[in-house]
Amino acid sequence: MTWELFAVFLGSSIRLATPLLLAGIGEMVSERAGVLNMSIEGMMLTAAFAAAVGSWATGDPMLGLLIGIIAVQPIALLQAVLSNTLRANQIVSGIGINILVLGATTLAYREIFGARSRAEIPGLAKIKPPLLGDIPVIGSAVFEQVWLLYAGIALIVATALVLRYTSIGIAIQAAGAEPKAVDKSGLSVTRIRYGCVLFAGFMASLSGAFLSIGDIHTFTEGMTRGAGYLAIASVIFGKWRIGGTVFASLLFGAATALQFQLPALGIAVPNALLIMLPYLLALLAVGGLVGRQLAPATLGEPYRR
């Protein structure tokens, strides 16, 4: 493999890892607070759709992104109400939301675009950061990415700092590990968990918008194709830590990138095997490749005072 090809592989790994990264970090925060959102997949699909429609209708991808972000919040709120206030089974309610969103976006897509499928949709701009982007050979292939990725990295760093050094971060972690103690200290477990689910929704909306208006500049029915579940798998693989989740997302991204790279290198591997690879890796990951998993103590359990 030449350096050029390797740089392309690296660049596309990062690009394909971005949606998992953004959604994964949001989901990790929510899981640290004790709420499992199976609905990440549905939130991403909502954003992918709303951002695409918004960008197509207004001609401005920034407005599209904004519309995508706003459209996900009601879904995140629904998940928060179901898993906190109504104390519904978080897995069942999440899957229900995913089914609803799949149907609703498909329906709305047919209504809006009808036969004019694959409409040209203005997408988010790419930027090449100074210095890194100027590295010869690999600079532009690796670092010329949609700006949302760089914004996402900044958000992830901020999230890490908040989780590690602030009282909010400690309260979030305690809400998942020791909700009773949080309650006794006078903070509201429910409020913290609501906030975290909405944050997960926000991150998932960036992720979904990245898929449609960042990456391929179009919307296709059910286009998330399980990426939300991969994001959840990367949280488990990453042992509920920022660094681990980032690493897992990059690994799944690289596995997806192989689909396009191996054929380019003339290596004949069945296409289906390559498409399957991220899911296989995720299965191995959640199946104990990472060792015994230490999930937040009350993950998935609604809190009752």
**Interface residues with other proteins (CB under 8 A)?**
38, 78, 81-82, 86-89, 91-93, 95-104, 106-107, 110-111, 226, 229, 232-233, 236, 270-273, 275-276, 279-280, 282-283, 286-288, 291-293, 304
Which residue number, 51 or 233, has a Cβ lying nearer to other proteins? Answer: 233
Q: How far is the CB of 226 from other proteins (least distance, A)?
A: 5
Q: How far is CA 9 from the centre of its chain?
A: 21
Q: How far is the CB of 177 from other proteins (least distance, A)?
A: 17
* Whole-number Å distance between alpha carbons of 86 and 95: 16
Which residue number, 156 or 282, has a Cβ lying nearer to other proteins? Answer: 282
21, two tokens? 């990264």
Which residue number, 123 or 228, has a Cβ lying nearer to other proteins? Answer: 228
* Whole-number Å distance between alpha carbons of 148 and 153: 9
Q: How far is the CB of 292 from other proteins (least distance, A)?
A: 6
* Whole-number Å distance between alpha carbons of 224 and 101: 11
Which residue number, 145 or 259, has a Cβ lying nearer to other proteins? Answer: 259
- Long-range contacts of the stretch 259-264 (C-beta < 8 A, 24+): 260/12, 261/5, 261/8, 261/9, 261/12, 264/5
Angle CA 272–240–191, to nearest 5 = 120
Q: How far is the CB of 7 from other proteins (least distance, A)?
A: 29
3-state secondary structure of 146: strand
Largest CA distance in the chain: 62
Q: How far is the CB of 233 from other proteins (least distance, A)?
A: 6
